[in-house]
Structure 1
Amino acid sequence: MKCPYCGYDDTQVKDSRPTEDNTAIRRRRVCSGCGGRFTTFERIQLRELSVIKRTGRKVPFDRDKLMRSVQVSLRKRPVEDDKVERMVSGIVRQLESAGDAEVPAEHIGNLVMEGLKGLDEIAYIRFASVYKNFKETKDFSDMLHQLSNERPLDEDLED
C-alpha cells in the first residue's frame, strides 16, 4: 500500500481488526519511509455498480462520495460516526444485493433520505434541500409540515 504522505511503496500493517458492524477490516499502517501512520479499510464488494445520473450519463458508484454527502448533511450534528458508517454500509449492501449493476441516482438519494430520517431529522432536511433542489422557504416549511404529520402523537407531546 502506497504511503499517502510521502508516496513510498512499502508500508506495514501494525494492527487489523473488524469494524463494529463486521462489514470491513480496519488496518492501521506505518510507512517504512517516513514513519507516517494511516488507516485503510478493506470491504467486500459484491459487484461493480454504476450510477445512472438524471442526465442519463453513467458513472462508477463511489462509496466515499456517498459518505461525504451524508457527512455534509450531518455536520455539527450529534450523531455517532459508527451509526453513520452502519447506515452507509447498509445502503451499499442494499444496492449490491439488489441484482442491478446500474442504479438510478434517484434511488440512491431516496435510500439516503430514508436513512437520514431515522438518524437525524435536521440532517434529513439539509440533504433533502439539496437533493430535491429547494428554491424557496416554502419548500422547507412543506417538508417540516410533512415530517411533523408523520410523527406519532406521543412524540409531539414530549417536546
Structure 2
Amino acid sequence: MRCPFCANEDTQVKDSRPTEDNTSIRRRRQCNSCGARFTTFERVQLREVTVVKAGENGEDARREPFDRTKLEHSVTLACRKRGVSEEQIDRLVSGIQRQVETAGDAEVPSARIGELVMDGLRGIDSVAYIRFASVYRDFSEARDFEEFASTVAEAAKS
C-alpha cells in the first residue's frame, strides 16, 4: 500500500480489526520511509457493476464503474452538520453497495442508486434527505424545496 504522505510503497500493517458491522477490515499502517500512520479499509467486492447515467438532450447514456467513494461523498455532503455519525453513513453506503452488487445486474441505472440513497436518508435525517433530494431531483426554485419539504412533513405526521 502506497503511503499517502510520501508515496513510498513500503508500508507495514500495525493493527487489523473488523469494523462494527463486520463488512470490512480496518487496518492501521505505518510508512517505513517517513513514519507516518494512516488507516485503510478492505471490503469485499462481489462483482463489477457499471452505473448507467441518464443521457441528456438525446445523448447516449454514459457508463462508469460503480464507485463507493463517490457515493460516500454524496451522502456525507447531505449529512454535513446534521449529527449523523460516520458509522451511520458507512452502514447506509455499505447497505446500498450490497444491494447493488447482489441484484445480479451488471449495469444499474444511477436513478436506482439515487432512490436507494433517498430511502436510506429518509430514515436517518429528514434535512439530509431533503438536501440529497434537492440535488438528485434538480430543484431549481425555492418552491421546489417547499413542496418537497411539505410532503416530508406530512409523511412524518402519519
Q: TM-score, normalised by structure 1?
A: 0.94
1:11 aligns to 2:11 (yes or no): yes
Aligned to 1:157: none
SS at match of 2:130: helix
Aligned to 2:31: 31
Q: Which of 105, 109, 119 matches 1:104?
A: 109
Gaps of 5+ in 1: 154-159
Cα shift readout 1:133-156 (whole Å, capped 9, x = no counterpart):
001111111111111221245xxx
Provide the rounded CA distance (Å) in 2 between the counterparts of 1:71 and 1:17: 24
SS at match of 1:151: helix
4+ runs deviating over 4 angstroms:
none
Aligned to 2:94: 89
Provide the rounded CA distance (Å) in 2 between the counterparts of 1:146 and 1:128: 12
Provide the rounded CA distance (Å) in 2 between the counterparts of 1:93 and 1:6: 34
Provide the rounded CA distance (Å) in 2 between the counterparts of 1:150 and 1:9: 52
Identity %: 58
Provide the rounded CA distance (Å) in 2 between the counterparts of 1:53 and 1:143: 24
Aligned to 2:58: none
Provide the rounded CA distance (Å) in 2 between the counterparts of 1:18 and 1:152: 39
Aligned to 2:132: 127
Provide the rounded CA distance (Å) in 2 between the counterparts of 1:144 and 1:85: 25
How far off its partner does 1:69 sit? 0.4
Letter in 1 for 2:39: T
Q: TM-score, normalised by structure 2?
A: 0.95
Cα shift readout 1:52-91 (whole Å, capped 9, x = no counterpart):
0011110011000000000010111111111110010000
Count of aligned residue pairs for this structure pair: 153
1:80 aligns to 2:85 (yes or no): yes
Letter in 1 for 2:135: V
Provide the rounded CA distance (Å) in 2 between the counterparts of 1:22 and 1:125: 30
Provide the rounded CA distance (Å) in 2 between the counterparts of 1:151 and 1:76: 21
Gaps of 5+ in 2: 56-60
Letter in 2 for 1:24: S
